[in-house]
A and B are shown apart, each in its own frame.
Chain A
Amino acid sequence: MGRFFLVIVIGLAWNCCARAGVKIGAVTCLTGALSTFGVSSVQGAKLAAEEINSNGGVLGAPVELIVEDNGSKAGEAATIARKFISQDKVAAILGDLTSSATMEAAPLAQAAKIPILTPSATNVAITQIGDYVFRSCFIDPFTGKVMARFALDHLGAKRAILLTDIKQDYSVGVSDALRLYFTENGGQIIGSISYSSGDTDFRTQLTEVRSRHPDVIFLPAYYTEAALILRQARQLGINTPFVGGEGWDSPALVRVAGKSADGNYYTNHFSASDPSDRVKAFVEKYRAKYHSTPDALAALWYDGARLLFLAVKKAGSSDCAKIRDALASTRDFDGVTGIISIDQNRNASKPGVILTIQDGETKMVQRVMP
């Protein structure tokens, strides 16, 4: 009898020791209205985890990625953060997908002194919450600057119309930055017109755009509305080029807008057609596992996960304070979304790309340095 118990105890102890791998909590929107984005993001993160585990894991043991779904609902991210902190006792949190969910989870992570890294939330206020909050994508002001810079230099535009989605924080944030940078550098915003996400008819606004004859039209929108706006603009005879942001990034844009998408530009984190070796390898691996081309979100979360793994390796243990310091000192990380360095505000300093659409295909026009 005694020997039996001994075996059990040893077995359990062995189990516990064997399962001593680092735990990272990943939270995103797997169901609900944002599910397609969430699925992309988690696929990228899981690919990174698989990759590193097949190479021996982190600190000698496989890393455990605990994925939770916030259902695209308000309030859930906070619950999940608490679960990660007290239940799963993770070493770091990867998430959330959207700015509003991250704003819920980040204060909790900060208070518990667990590093949290968001690979895709762009609201400036997030990293201002505290020194345990990090971001590995660029922020709205950067997007605005890039868009304005491109219009001024590449398109030689001087007079612009700004179309803003007043319901979306992202659109408003980028618009503010755009306005500032464009006017400060010699451009003129001749009109600021608004619409709401969910609208399907933009003809009234576009008729006004048409009457102003701008050189360029800024459209920091999500692809749902962007596609319809591009379509309706061309139908109304507006041939001015549009310049948009990462929200455009989706195959659905070209599918819905058709030929109207051609000849426009948008900034993005990542281009699947990037000829660099690193990106090609990533795209191949992603395609092999998921049978689809990775989008920017998958690429961002892939990089974000790898950043965390690297930080844990650098820290040498799953001690949260050491991981935090390692993250903060990340320099020149070779990611598929560019060479990433974490700056003093814990945001990512990294390049972006400008893409254009020709004959229904996105092509890279140029890389933009911060």
Chain B
Amino acid sequence: MSRALLILFAALLVCLSVSIFGENFIASRYAYYYDILITIGINVILAASLNLVNGYTGQFSLGHAGFMAVGAYTSASWSNHLDPYIVGWLGGAGSPFATNVAFLISMLLAGILAGVAGFAVGVPSLRVKGDYLAIVTLGFGEIIRVTILNTDFVGASRGLSVAGSYTNLFWTYGSVLVCVYVVLGLVHSTYGRGFLTVRDDEVAAEAMGINTTKYKVMAFVVASFFAGIAGALYAHFKAFLTPEGFNFFRSVDVVVFVILGGMGSTIGVVLAAVMLTILPEVLRALSHTQFVPPAYQGLLENRLILYSLLLIILMLTRPQGLFGDPGAIRKRFTRSGGN
């Protein structure tokens, strides 16, 4: 077994132990911090998976929330309708084995369906590049959201209540570990070479016989799989889903993680996700003190104003983000007419 895999298993074991021994204590005494911890985990998965598409493969996707929505609603519907049978079959509602296995099935299903959606988005997307791709992915994200809004089975505008709050530290951080492992593993393999070539110079890659289609679609599918997992974790933690919760602004949130962290740097985006999840809570705490003059409080609390300024300033001053590699960002298009 490779060393990386061993490390993964060790880390998963640590997660499991923390969860078994500490979970209830943390969840009940420190519910607020617990919430933040789980949210960090979910955001890290979203960021790391989007980084695979945006950062490593250079395909600018603005529809990541759509895949998260597919995963969230899939796992919620599954849990709502089929869990009673599965849990009953496996040992009854009191058995942690039964509920956890049921949740695992639910999560995997969420990931797979989201992956299928990723495939459906990836295939037409291979025809377009750059700016168009951004709009197409935005469009797909919106189409997914509008479809959910018009589907009565999943609650439409009423929203969907999720039975069973199965998300815990083990599942969350276990998924984080698996996600990071898979992403890093792919990137450091021959597939990774493929992704990077597509990012750096798609025309040259095609000219050299590399099947850019395969790599682009693979990146989309893997990323959306994990977005689906993140969605499942979210659904079973917040216990209520609405289509509005997976709109364009949610996608923008994740994009900001990736840009701030540095496209192409997994550790960077992980850190960025952690920072930007904690930041609003810090701001919330600040708003109750006298530190910030009331006139500016509204500005600080308006996350999107800060994020948008952050994006602009980052692009103007430090486009590689906090941890990205400046050399790895190369021109992907030449202007027709030469320059």
Also in contact, A123 and B158, with CB within 8 A (given A30-B301, A87-B32):
yes
B243 CB → nearest A CB, Å: 9
- State in angstroms the CA–CA spacing of A107 and B237 once bound together: 11
A203: Cβ under 8 A from any B Cβ = no
Contact of A85 with B31 in the complex, beta carbons under 8 Å: yes
The 8 closest A-B pairs by CB, nearest first: A74-B245, A86-B31, A82-B31, A83-B32, A103-B240, A82-B35, A169-B157, A169-B158
- State in angstroms the CA–CA spacing of A108 and B34 once bound together: 13
If A69-B301, A71-B301, A100-B245 are given as contacts, then 19 extra A-B residue pairs at C-beta distance below 8 Å, sorted by A number, are A30-B301, A74-B244, A74-B245, A78-B238, A79-B35, A79-B281, A82-B32, A83-B31, A85-B31, A86-B31, A99-B159, A100-B240, A100-B242, A104-B238, A104-B239, A107-B239, A108-B31, A123-B158, A167-B157
B150: Cβ under 8 A from any A Cβ = yes
B298: Cβ under 8 A from any A Cβ = yes
Set B30, B32, B234, B302: member contacting A75, Cβ < 8 A: B234
A112 CB → nearest B CB, Å: 8
| CB nearest neighbor in A for B301 | A31
B174 CB → nearest A CB, Å: 21
Write out the residue numbers on chain B whose beta carbons fall within 8 Å of the beta carbon of A85.
31-32
- State in angstroms the CA–CA spacing of A74 and B303 once bound together: 14
Contact of B242 with A74 in the complex, beta carbons under 8 Å: yes
Q: Which residues, 23 to 55 on B, are CB-close (under 8 Å) to A? A: 28-36, 39
Set B32, B157, B237: member contacting A168, Cβ < 8 A: B157
**Interface residues on chain B, number (Cβ under 8 Å):** 35
B271 CB → nearest A CB, Å: 21
A125: Cβ under 8 A from any B Cβ = yes
Contact of B31 with A172 in the complex, beta carbons under 8 Å: no
- State in angstroms the CA–CA spacing of A78 and B288 once bound together: 19
- State in angstroms the CA–CA spacing of A87 and B302 once bound together: 23
A126 CB → nearest B CB, Å: 10
| CB nearest neighbor in B for A69 | B301
Contact of A79 with B302 in the complex, beta carbons under 8 Å: no
B100: Cβ under 8 A from any A Cβ = no
Write out the residue numbers on chain B whose beta carbons fall within 8 Å of the beta carbon of A167.
149, 157
Contact of B32 with A100 in the complex, beta carbons under 8 Å: no
| CB nearest neighbor in A for B243 | A167
Contact of A166 with B156 in the complex, beta carbons under 8 Å: yes
Mark each residue of chain A from 143 to 174: 1 if its CB lies under 8 Å from any CB of chain B, else 0: 00000000000000000000000111100110
**Interface size band for A:** 20 to 34
B161: Cβ under 8 A from any A Cβ = yes
A271 CB → nearest B CB, Å: 28
Contact of A172 with B301 in the complex, beta carbons under 8 Å: no
Contact of A68 with B284 in the complex, beta carbons under 8 Å: yes
Contact of A172 with B32 in the complex, beta carbons under 8 Å: no
Pairs A–B under 8 Å by Cβ, sample size 15: A75-B238, A78-B35, A79-B39, A79-B281, A86-B28, A86-B29, A87-B32, A100-B245, A103-B239, A104-B238, A125-B161, A166-B149, A166-B157, A168-B157, A172-B156
Write out the residue numbers on chain B whose beta carbons fall within 8 Å of the beta carbon of A166.
149-150, 156-157
| CB nearest neighbor in A for B299 | A31
Counting chain B CB atoms within 10 Å of each CB, the highest count among A31, A172, A173 belongs to A31
Contact of A74 with B29 in the complex, beta carbons under 8 Å: no
- State in angstroms the CA–CA spacing of A30 and B284 once bound together: 12
Also in contact, A82 and B34, with CB within 8 A (given A31-B298, A100-B240, A123-B158):
yes
- State in angstroms the CA–CA spacing of A362 and B31 once bound together: 46
Mark each residue of chain A from 46 to 80: 1 if its CB lies under 8 Å from any CB of chain B, else 0: 00000000000000000000101101011100110
B159 CB → nearest A CB, Å: 5
Q: Which residues, 169 to 217 on B, are CB-close (under 8 Å) to A? A: none
| CB nearest neighbor in B for A76 | B280
